[in-house]
Structure 1
């Protein structure tokens, strides 16, 4: 067996909360990526975001304060809009799937 490039990359075992593996699988299929590529993509997005107050993604953020990413060039504006659009789409999708799931439970 040859050493493929992916075999030489660092590996890390992660325990997911219930249901998250299915969410990752669905998102990966929707985006045409492997589950690993989907996880790496989403992690990289969190590192690419600048938080002015040093909060972490997922922390509660004061939306009325100055805690947003620094967007001071047209390119950063485009990236911010793309990221917000993706995040909104994914959030809306999860909410709608949850509503469908809740309706099925009744």
Structure 2
């Protein structure tokens, strides 16, 4: 698949970005930066949507529900789907760290 703006080859999956030696070629770096842009786009497109309800909500359940939202708006293309799943797991990782920090924080009462 080629980038319409530059004519450069765009990878079709995350796996296609990496060679075995741990270094990226200039083309791979450009592809990796493109992948980051896709993930950021998925984060913005999903998290910028208005949420239903207000007030208190169960945080862990809310974050779990985001996976469906990330995937719903992704196209059927492998790369878009990879970006959506990656964006979700970034949010899940942040949420898990927040929840762990809350469990270890001393009570303020």
Q: Is this a same-fold pair by TM over 0.5?
A: no
**TM-score (normalizing by structure 1):** 0.38
Q: Please, what TM-score do these two structures have when normalized by structure 2?
A: 0.37
